[in-house]
Structure formats: C-alpha cells, structure tokens
Amino acid sequence: MIITDIKKQVNNKSKVSIFADGVYYNSLFDETLAASGLKIGDSFTEEEFQRLQTESQKKLAFNKSLDYISIRIRASSELRKYLERKEYCEEAIEYSVQKLMEYGYLNDETFAKTLVRDRMNARKKGRNYIISDLKKYGIDNEIIQQITDEYDYEKEHENALNLAGKLLLKHKKEEDPYKRKQKISASMARAGYDWETIQSALNEAEKGK
C-alpha cells in the first residue's frame, strides 16, 4: 500500500488520517507518524502499520488513564477493566498500567490503605466488609494480609459500639429482647462486623443505656 494523503483530523488535532491508494485507511497520533518517518508516497505493509497503531494506542490509552485516575484514586484492576471496556489492545493496557506504577500514580497498597481509612472512618464499616471490598477491587492477597496485620481493632470496636448504641435506640420499641438482639446483630453483620465484635459492642452498649 502507498500513502496518498495525510490529513490533520478536525475533531482531534493530535491525530492524522492516513489515506492509502486513494482511500481512507486509518488514523495515527501525529507524534507516532513523525517518529515513523512515513510520508506521502511511501509504501507500507499491514504489519508495519499495525505496529504503529499499537504505539498510537499506547499513547491514547495512557492519556485516557491519566484522566481516569485524576477523578479519584484507583486500583490497578479498575484501570485495566476501564481500558478493556474502551477496547484498547492488551499491550496498550499493560503499558499504561506499568507506566503509571513507575510514576507512582498507581499503587495498590496506597489504594488499599485509603479504602480502609474511608470505610472505617467515614462509613463506619467493619473488617469483613472492608476485606470484601478490597477483594472486589482485585487487591492482591499479600496486600490484604498486610492491611489485616496493621488493622486498628480499637477503632473498629469504637465504631461497633457507636453503631450498637444507635441500633438499640432504633429498635427500642421491640419488646422481645431476643428479636431485638437478632435485628441489631444482623444489621451490624451487614456492616461487616464479626460475631465476637458484635456481641462485645452490644453487651457494652446495653450496659451503658
């Protein structure tokens, strides 16, 4: 195939349209084209263009990734899934993830610690809920284990005690103490607290009524 024309795209000034043998063939970032040295009149194979296209996808995927992580902190699995939905090739996805890790913009350990702080301090969730959330975001088991080792159980107990107190007030009209305790325990379990923490907090809250 022979390049018969190269035109700057109207809607994307950073890209050019490539025409081969008189018809539109594909597009590239102008930087990718400049680096390739291709110009009107040059011939190329489909394989050669595919290599250039991959390089072009890398740049586009990386730019999209920067936009995506600028909204909030992300886990690497989140970014991968996002780029897959955008239908970037695997090479472009891996390139973007690795580059952002190198620059320190993508770090699963930092993400995990941020998530734990948010779930514990802002949302008052328990350990089970937090671990489930970390797994949902594809956090590696080694990082989860490290987070568990550093977990603030005193803060969790404090949150559980506050929640138990609120739930006791909510269900104070329930005359059957067994049913009341069942309802409160179920609510606390859904918030991610384990059985031992629930019973300890509930007993303490009942004594302090």
Residues 44 and 95 in one domain: yes
Residues 29 and 8 in one domain: yes
Q: Tokens for 153?
A: 């159980």
Q: Alpha-carbon distance 147 to 114, whole Å?
A: 11
Residues 125 and 199 in one domain: no
What's the pLDDT at 209?
60
Residue 48 or residue 91, greater confidence: 91
Tell me if the pTM is above 0.75: yes
Tell me what the pLDDT averaged over the chain comes to: 91
CATH of the domain at 79: 1.10.10.10
What's the pLDDT at 48?
85
Identity of the residue numbered 53: Q
What's the pLDDT at 192?
96
Q: Alpha-carbon distance 159 to 193, whole Å?
A: 10
Residues 139 and 158 in one domain: no
Query: Tens of pLDDT along 44-81?
Result: 888 888 888 888 889 889 999 999 999 999 999 999 99
Residues 34 and 82 in one domain: yes
Residues 18 and 59 in one domain: yes
What's the pLDDT at 27?
83
What would the mean pLDDT of 166-185 be, rounded to a whole number? 92
Residues 201 and 189 in one domain: yes
What's the pLDDT at 25?
87
Report whether pLDDT(89) > 70.
yes
- Are 95 and 62 in contact by the 8 Å Cβ rule? The answer is yes
Query: Tens of pLDDT along 100-141?
Result: 999 999 999 999 999 999 999 999 999 999 999 999 999 999
- Are 120 and 89 in contact by the 8 Å Cβ rule? The answer is no
Residues 7 and 89 in one domain: yes
Residues 97 and 43 in one domain: yes
How many separate domains does the chain show? 3
Which of 197, 196, 200, 164 minimizes the C-alpha distance to 183?
164
Q: Tokens for 16?
A: 């050019």
Residues 15 and 52 in one domain: yes
| Domain range for 172 | 153-207
Residues 158 and 143 in one domain: no
Which of 50, 9, 2 minimizes the C-alpha distance to 30?
9
Residues 68 and 87 in one domain: yes
In the block, residue with structure tokens 């309802």: 183
